[in-house]
Amino acid sequence: MKTYRIACIPGDGIGKEVIPAGQEVLQALAAAGAGFGFAFTSFGWGGDWYRAHGQMMPDDGLEALRGMDAILFGSAGDPQIPDHVTLWGLRLKICQGFDQYANVRPTRILPGIDAPLKRCTPRDLDWVIVRENSEGEYAGVGGRAHQGHPIEVATDVSMMTRAGVERIMRFAFRLAQSRPRKLLTVVTKSNAQRHAMVMWDQIAAEVAREFPDVRWDKELVDACTARMVNRPASLDTLVATNLHADILSDLAAALAGSLGIAPTGNIDPERRYPSMFEPIHGSAFDIMGQGLANPIGTFWSCVMLLEHLGEHEAAARLMQAIESVTADPALHTGDLGGKARTADVTSAVCHRLKNR
Ligand code: NAD
Ligand code: K
Ligand code: MN
């Protein structure tokens, strides 16, 4: 029987609550006769590791992950450590170290979830946002000089390369082509950002010629937020820069009901390195350590992980179990207006996997 080696990095805050829940659900799926097993290795990296060792993960951390089939990640962010230290020291180190340049963020309204958009049925909102995950605004290029002086300057340069934009565009067009509507919206800000974003638009038009069956359009990122609210059904697959997609996908999650539901995959499409799956939310300082976190975002991320491994039947089974749980308001956590706890939702999903 095939055994998948999965690295688990709970990280900080509610990551420590939702990642064990994700492992439990994957274990239940394997035990219910999926035809494969999992060997989990957990890494205690994050804020606690930083307090003990002065860094978020060890220098040879990437080496420890390299041979894994996939990585399940919680969140990086600790109330006592600056956010840029935790993010750059752990999550971005892995995303950039393993060149996981495509960040895929699906959004749908799951059964039973009361989405805030009026006049919007689940059929009207079925998006995948493709986030460029290796450069752009989060390239790490920039600097700070004359700190504390009146002439202080600081820059974060949005750096885009032709190779980087071409590969994310090709990925997005291919993904759009694989979906029933074959529709791609290229998000841009080329009216104001007249260098990198103009190149982005040009490359989109070039790559589009390779995909004559994909319909595509362009939208400025600010207008795109309004379009997501006003005309959700006019969107299907979207591709946007690192920063733009980061913001659009939190909006997408909220429009579909809650940040606690939304999944993502940080993918190396060439499969040179392990890909990493995580809920899109962060450490949720306001609810951490109380067993209140919604684990659905992590479970849906596990579905994406299974699909990445080629286990499509198991992925569909887990998604079905998730949807049958969201359909029951008694199993909604606080973010969805319910009273259920992380453990209630987790055991309900496991129970449905056992008794299908
Ligand atoms: P957040 O996602 O942690 O929380 C935003 C709000 O959503 C909070 O009110 C929180 O309670 C709620 N929420 C989020 N996930 C939930 C869940 N599963 N169930 C129920 N409610 C949920 O965002 P933030 O407050 O901006 O950031 C907190 C920390 O997390 C910061 O340090 C930030 O840098 C970090 N962060 C990390 C990642 C990551 O590791 N990928 C992503 C986002 C934020
Ligand atoms: K996360
Ligand atoms: Mn984000």
Residue 75's beta-bridge partner residues?
Answer: 11
Q: Which residues are catalytic?
A: 138, 189, 222, 246, 250
Minimum CA distance residue for ligand 1 atom 32: 77
Q: What is the pLDDT of residue 13?
A: 98
Tell me the per-residue pLDDT of 207-240, one tens digit each, with 9 for 90 and over. Answer: 999 999 999 999 999 999 999 999 999 999 999 9
Atom of ligand 1 nearest to the CA of 250: 2
Give the length of the chain.
356
Q: Please, which pLDDT band fits residue 70 given cuts at 50, 70 and 90?
A: very high
| Beta strand extents in the chain (DSSP E only) | 2-11, 36-42, 70-75, 102-108, 126-132, 136-145, 153-159, 183-188, 215-220, 237-240, 263-267, 275-279
Q: What is the pLDDT of residue 209?
A: 98
Global pTM reads 0.97
Find, among 267, 342, 318, the residue nearest to 110 by Cα: 318
The dihedrals phi and psi of 54, each to the nearest 5 degrees, come to 75, 5
Among 72, 75, 91, which residue has the most ligand 1 atoms within 8 Å of its CB, making it the best to mutate? Answer: 75
ipTM above 0.85?
yes
Ligand 3 (ion): which residues have CB within 5 A? 246
Domains contained in the chain, CATH given: 1-103+262-356 (3.40.718.10), 115-140+156-256 (3.40.718.10)
Tell me the per-residue pLDDT of 93-142, one tens digit each, with 9 for 90 and over. Answer: 999 999 999 999 999 999 999 989 888 888 899 999 999 999 999 999 99
Rounded CA-CA distance 243/25 in Å is: 32
Q: Which ligand is nearest to the CA of 287?
A: 1
> Does residue 60's CB lie within 6 angstroms of at least one atom of ligand 1?
no
> Does residue 337's CB lie within 6 angstroms of at least one atom of ligand 1?
no
Helices then strands (H, E): number in the chain?
A: 12, 12
CA–centroid distance, 260 to ligand 1, in Å, is 9
User: 264 in helix, strand or coil?
Assistant: strand
